[in-house]
Chain A
Amino acid sequence: ISTHPLGNIEDMVYVGNITIGTPPQKFQVVFDTGSSDLWVPSISCTSQFCSSHALFRHLESSTYWPTQKTFSIEYGSGRMKGVVAHDTVRIGDLVSNDQQFGLSLEHSGFKGMPFDGILGLNYPNFSFTGGTPIFDNLMNQGAISEPVFAFYLSKSKLEGSVVMFGGVDKSYYQGALNWVPLIQAGDWRVHMDRISMEGQVIACSGGCEAIVDTGTSLIHGPRRLLNKILSFIGATPRGSKHYVSCSAVNTLPSIDFTINGINYTLPAQAYAIKDSTGDCYIFFKQIRASRTTETWILSDVFLRQYFSVFDRGNDRIGLAQAV
């Protein structure tokens, strides 16, 4: 028998389990620092998305209570509508009583996605359901010892990744944990000094903004500047993606993201991934350019290299070399 490794290109979403209700009903959710709401599909949902996912059966929960409020959220990857409800939500041993959350009834764009719902970990001002996000509730209810959470996204293994609440386990990173203040309390967005390759500033030359987002898989940046980087790498477009020869990946330059005076290096092996056809494509995607601000999204591609700490107590993000 001859065995060959397979490239796992769509291996890009990190999900974890939570439960809602009494007795608990289990859901697989994305822990997303880019949004603030928790939602899962309702048993009343008729979308195609709901036919293949865990659905919340509100009549089976003794701690459930409904509201008259409706909500809708539009994500970059789809939109959904639903109703707002309250129930007990458990993340591991953490319990958030009377947690407001969304029960989705209609979806568009999420078809085939390997998660039941999304658990937003951004600040309350991004809440579309209008309630207190789960992390704020956990802080307010005194359920966590420190108002921080942190992500370790494993590079190669299907398992081994964790999100931790209430403190930081130092065994997941090496070297110093560097703190970066948020541009403004209320969004996990920091100032970035520049992006450079081989010592040459290639983007963000006058400084720019970086959103640190665990719910996004690829590095996103403005089209013109991404094209500059892709040209520097020598990537060629094919469909909507850009490819390089896999044999050349080891010779491609690293990309340095300088944040708060510290270089965070992304080696080519992190941003060029072999796909199922045996070619290597670049894990970058265009973002619609803002007229005023140059914005980049530092996503899972970046966070696999760097352990990240989200400190609500001090409105800052910590980054360190992941083990």
Chain B
Amino acid sequence: CIVKIPLTRVNIMRKTRSEKNMLNDFLKKHAYRLYLTSSPGSN
């Protein structure tokens, strides 16, 4: 009864140089951190 969903480890190296540079800038700031910075109702 287990449902398996394949995950892809995204290969951003295939993207264009400008996109990659943009991503590098982004990673410097955030490094793909999705964890929430606030909690519901905190605003």
**Count the A residues whose beta carbon is within 8 Å of the partner chain — how many?**
71
Does chain B have a CB within 8 A of A32? yes
For A112, A145, A216, A297, the residue with the greatest tally of chain B CB atoms inside 10 Å of its CB is: A112
Contact B33 A76 (CB under 8 A): yes
Instruction: Please pick, from A91, A115, A145, A215, the residue contacting B35 in the complex, using a CB distance under 8 A.
Output: A215
Residues in A whose Cβ lies below 8 Å from that of B15:
114
The residue of chain B having its C-beta at the shortest distance from the C-beta of A93 within the complex is B3
Known contacts A11-B11, A74-B37; A168 and B2 CB within 8 A of each other: yes
For B1-38 the 0/1 string (1 means CB < 8 A from A) is 11111111111110100011011101111111111111
Known contacts A91-B3, A165-B3; A114 and B10 CB within 8 A of each other: yes
Contact B33 A77 (CB under 8 A): yes
Known contacts A8-B11, A15-B10; A35 and B35 CB within 8 A of each other: yes
The residue of chain A having its C-beta at the shortest distance from the C-beta of B30 within the complex is A77
Known contacts A14-B8, A77-B33; A239 and B2 CB within 8 A of each other: no
Does chain B have a CB within 8 A of A240? yes
Contact B8 A112 (CB under 8 A): no
Does chain B have a CB within 8 A of A161? yes
Residues in B whose Cβ lies below 8 Å from that of A26:
none
Measured CB to CB, the closest approach of chain A to B31, in angstroms, equals 5
Contact B37 A75 (CB under 8 A): yes
Q: Tell me the dominant secondary structure on chain A's binding face.
A: loop
How many angstroms from the CA of A112 to the CA of B17 in the assembled complex? 12
Does chain B have a CB within 8 A of A201? no
Contact A216 B35 (CB under 8 A): yes
Instruction: Please pick, from A115, A158, A164, A220, the residue contacting B3 in the complex, using a CB distance under 8 A.
Output: A164
Does chain B have a CB within 8 A of A308? no
Known contacts A31-B7, A159-B8; A112 and B26 CB within 8 A of each other: yes
How many angstroms from the CA of A66 to the CA of B24 in the assembled complex? 37
Residues in B whose Cβ lies below 8 Å from that of A10:
12-13, 20, 23-24, 27
Instruction: Please pick, from B28, B31, B32, B36, the residue contacting A74 in the complex, using a CB distance under 8 A.
Output: B36
Residues in A whose Cβ lies below 8 Å from that of B28:
239-241
How many angstroms from the CA of A240 to the CA of B10 in the assembled complex? 23
Residues in A whose Cβ lies below 8 Å from that of B32:
12-13, 77, 215-218
Does chain B have a CB within 8 A of A166? yes
Measured CB to CB, the closest approach of chain B to A47, in angstroms, equals 15
Considering only residues 119-161 of chain A, those with a C-beta below 8 Å from chain B are 125-128, 130, 144-146, 151, 153-154, 157-159, 161
18 contacts between A and B (CB under 8 A): A10-B13, A15-B7, A16-B6, A17-B5, A91-B5, A92-B3, A112-B19, A126-B40, A130-B40, A144-B3, A153-B7, A162-B5, A164-B3, A165-B4, A165-B5, A211-B35, A215-B32, A216-B31
Chain B residues in contact with chain A, CB under 8 A?
A: 1-13, 15, 19-20, 22-24, 26-40, 43
